[in-house]
Amino acid sequence: MRSSIKILFLSLLTLTVAVSCKKTVKTEVREVDTYVADNYTKKEVDIEMRDGITLHTTIYSPKDTSKKYPIIMQRTPYSSQPYGEGNFRTKIGPNEHLMKEGNIIVYQDVRGRWLSEGHYENMRAYIPNKTSDEQVDESSDTYDTIEWLVNNVENNNGNVGIWGISYPGYYATYATVDAHPALKASSPQASIGDFFFDDFHHNGAYLLSYFRATSLFGTPRPNGDQPIDTAWYTLPNLPTEDQYQFFLDAGPLKNLDYFFEYETADTPTMRPEGVTDDFFWNELKEHPNYDAMWQSKGLIQHLKDVKSSVATMVVGGWFDAEDLYGPLETYKNIEKYNEDNYNTMVFGPWDHGGWARDKVRNVVGNYYFGDSISLFFQKEIETKFFNHFLKGEGDMDSGLPEAYVFDTGTKEWKKYDAWPPENAAKQTMYLSDDQELTSEPKEITGIQFVSNVKKPVPYSEDVKTVFTPRKYMTDDQRFAARRSDVLVFETDVMEEDLTLAGDILAHLKVATTGTAADWIVKVIDVHPADAETNEEMQDHLKMSNYHLMVRSEVLRGRFRNSFSDPEPFVPNQKTDVDIKLQDVFHTIKKGHKLQIQVQSTWFPLIDLNPQTYVDNIFKADESDFKTQTHTVFTDSNIEFTVLK
């Protein structure tokens, strides 16, 4: 059968004109892709876990039964739709190549979501050394699923792979801990590692910009938590296209509780004071520090136990606003504690999940990185990885490097035997007077700025309301550089290339007139005046002098010494604040300049710090928010990882 059918839709438009009648026939050609339906059979089953709960699972098997195939699976909280054995996805598997060459592709609703039984726990805690069948987690659910699949799905070759992007990437990581012997390959992609550092928090600061995603994870299923095949949650609807002004007018975070008070047959109308129906919002509010709850839900600390029988390929985007901490820390911790494992990383010029798209031009926000970068990854990297471990020799010689990384400055792929590369070294630059970024420290002075809680620094110059922000990761930072509450430090024009390859540590020396403050550091590539503007650029911008944000990070100052035990600042006392910025691979090219920006608000990407210490910012009052004067001292420095 043909893999696609062209269906012609004819619409007749009759135009009546005074002097004559003329018929115009408008023809629209719509291509309906039926490749999956033509080449695969689909079966939906409920697989019983060790504690008796069943998980809804969809299995796509090649119609060609003349040979055996590996199983490649994805576990997801976002639904394995479409439901019904006669309803097919138009694309299955990690990419088109793995779909068309033939694999058994499996999707599963995780415990407590959609058509699977049980109760959902957001970032379910791993249970080591289980002592009974009632002790279950995502590792045991994956193990039990694989056990059923290899014993019940016809024509499988006994080898299983798993992949996923974002939350499904977290489940792909989870599968490697106490892994089933049949699991041979796992590719966690944009994987969540810990919700205190991914998505909803960055270094303890709450990402207000993810506010609308809260109900997606925290709305209880109706009818006593019974399986359901339609969405039971609704996303908060902000009645504006100006989210900056909306959240500024809303005031303290506690004023947003009403978005999560769900009046349904399954929820009480009388609630305890300060408690909403959304269990994730309640967790965020009641656990502002990195306490035992958040620590138990983190997966990074359990990667000491990844099975050596599982090959891992961690994938991420250098400009992933949602999950950059997760994939980097996943790779690094598997590498650190499992020296004999096959463990590699692939990082390219993508935003969240950009490598899975089929667009030829690869762009993040306004910035163009080249053509066919994602398509190259899918064919030459991802497909080769799964084929080697699921169909091929499965040995350590996969033909892929340890680190396949894209230099976002020179716009080219590089291969390394280690990450950071072995020829990388630390190089320190100092935040000096007169807006200079220097290689040697100069006279120590204090540079002051006023942080006005009524006029916080926006994270983007765009006026818009988004579900989750992505574009800002490559945004032009000129709008921020021109504000008085953003400090700028800049090198001279580069006389030779400078390649940043690894993490960045900001060692700030600061003071504040208040008792609390956030600190934001941004690393920026200032382009020359003659830089050529690409076609995707917003109309009001030009690439000439473009301030490309290469990396940025926030630290909620109360967590400067411990994420578990916050502490206030002593007013006007010089204090150390160290901020780890996630890895980059970016060349500041000859003719460009390297710039650092330091600020204390970043709104509404992160929530507004009261700038007076309170135990819990989620419960702060309007009166707690005070404008303060901050000081950055010129013995502050930035420690880069640089290729030599």
DSSP state of 440: S
pLDDT value for 141: 98
For 211, 271, 286, 373, the CA distances from 236, given in Å and listed in that order, are 8, 20, 20, 35
* Cβ(602)–Cβ(453) below 8 Å: no
Whether pLDDT at 87 is above 50? yes
Return the amino acid letter for 20.
S
CA neighbor of 318 nearest in space, from 369, 366, 385: 369
For 312, 382, 405, 497, 602, the CA distances from 590, given in Å and listed in that order, are 36, 33, 21, 5, 30
Predicted confidence band of residue 17 (pLDDT cuts 50, 70, 90): very low
Kindly state the average pLDDT of the residues 329-358: 97
Determine how many CB atoms are found less than 10 A away from the CB of residue 122: 16
CA neighbor of 577 nearest in space, from 431, 409, 461, 427: 431
* Cβ(139)–Cβ(178) below 8 Å: yes
pLDDT value for 582: 96
pLDDT value for 27: 52
pLDDT value for 274: 66
Each residue's pLDDT tens digit, 576-621: 999 999 999 999 999 999 999 999 999 999 999 999 999 999 999 9
Each residue's pLDDT tens digit, 107-119: 999 999 999 999 9
Tokens at 542, concatenated: 């030009």
pLDDT value for 23: 43
List the single range of 158-167, 273-282, 298-307, 347-356 with lowest mean pLDDT: 273-282
Q: What is the CA radius of gyration of the chain?
A: 26
Each residue's pLDDT tens digit, 280-335: 999 999 999 999 999 999 999 999 989 999 999 999 999 999 999 999 999 999 99
* Three state DSSP letters for 525-569: EECCCCCCCCCCCCCCCCCCCCEEEEEEEEEEHHHCCCCCCCCCC
DSSP state of 518: E
Tokens at 210, concatenated: 């993810």
Evaluate the omega torsion of the peptide bond into residue 456 and state whether it is cis, within 30 degrees of 0: no
List the single range of 10-24, 184-198, 553-567, 582-596 with lowest mean pLDDT: 10-24
* Cβ(103)–Cβ(96) below 8 Å: no
Whether pLDDT at 25 is above 70? no
Whether pLDDT at 249 is above 60? yes
Kindly state the average pLDDT of the residues 253-268: 78
Among left, alpha and beta (phi > 0; psi -120 to 50; other), residue 372 is: left
* Cβ(312)–Cβ(334) below 8 Å: yes
Return the amino acid letter for 463.
V
Question: Across all residues in the chain, what is the average pLDDT?
Answer: 93
Q: How far apart are CA 485 and CA 603, in angstroms?
A: 13
Each residue's pLDDT tens digit, 495-518: 999 999 999 999 999 999 999 999
Tally of CA atoms within 13 A in the half-sphere of 222 that contains its CB: 12
For 265, 267, 504, 580, 606, the CA distances from 521, given in Å and listed in that order, are 47, 43, 10, 10, 14
Q: Which is more confidently placed, 302 or 276? A: 302
pLDDT value for 21: 41
Each residue's pLDDT tens digit, 108-155: 999 999 999 999 999 999 999 999 999 999 999 999 999 999 999 999
Alpha carbon dihedral 339, 341, 347, 353, in 10-degree steps, equals -130
Q: How far apart are CA 487 and CA 586, in angstroms?
A: 22
pLDDT value for 7: 33
User: Which secondary structure element, helix H or strand E, spans residue 103, and what is its range?
Assistant: none
Q: Is 617 exposed, middle or buried (0-12, 13-18, 19+ CB in 10 A)?
A: buried
pLDDT value for 32: 79
Q: Is 565 exposed, middle or buried (0-12, 13-18, 19+ CB in 10 A)?
A: exposed
What is the pTM (predicted TM-score) of this model? 0.93
Q: How far apart are CA 222 and CA 57, in angstroms?
A: 21
DSSP state of 476: B
Residue recorded with tokens 């690094």: 332
Whether pLDDT at 31 is above 90? no
pLDDT value for 537: 95
